[in-house]
Amino acid sequence: MTEDLSEREIAHALIASLDLTDLSDNCTQDDIARLCERAASSEGDVAAICIWPRFVSFARERLKPGIRIATVVNFPAGTDDVEATVAETSRAVADGADEIDLVVSYRRIGTDGGFVRDQVARVKEACGNARLKTILETGELSEPALIAAAAREALAGGADFLKTSTGKVAVNATPEAAEILLRAIAEAGGTVGFKPAGGIKTYEDAKAYRDLANRICGDGYATPDRFRLGASGVLADLLAVAGGAARGGARAGY
């Protein structure tokens, strides 16, 4: 059974699945304060804000209750220092992070995939009650077989979400990589979440990923509990569609 929703209803669903993000290198507390305000939008709250670890406690005091705080660890390089990443995770959770977005050591995939599995398991343990999203940097892996291997290792380590990208490299979320991750999730039972990140600019971009997730993992899969969008610039377009307002700029696909 396929859903029968209007564009405005889909836009509201996409807003509710958005991880509103500011991971800019020059981000300030004022920027985070504005992000917290934008997160409680006129058309509904976003799922989470995604910010640098140093701002977690600041945001915790200002963010509307019910909106989650996601933060990044081992970001963006995806180094091999697991102990440092575990310590970073523990600090972030203590500061009030609800979700941890971990950059796995993706360069190990294809040579020592077990390292990534164990890395994810260690960080998952440090998360406690926080949810763990694993960033696989699919654009850097590039090859479908490597992307699929990364997905399997992250799932084996206990990841709660598979996330495509940091948004800090030349190639970020793509439909091709998204399909590989979603098929891995479906084969593992369809309960793990999926988050495309980087390059999502329009309602059409966001909807296409939502449609793909529902097609592969089953109608009703793409709820905020299992489907997120990592983006900073798409909220304005989603608000325009949700509110029935005129939209600026050209519409685009992926």
Q: Which residues are catalytic?
A: 101, 163, 195
| Side chain identity at residue 205, one-letter code | D
Give me the residue label for tokens 């929703």.
5
Question: Counting Cβ atoms within 10 Å, is residue 59 exposed (0-12), middle (13-18) or buried (19+)?
Answer: buried
Give the residue among 42, 41, 92 at the shortest CA–CA distance from 69.
92
Q: Enter the tokens of residue 244.
A: 């029935």
Q: How far apart are the first and last CA of the chain?
A: 25
Residue 60 CA to its chain's centroid (Å): 19
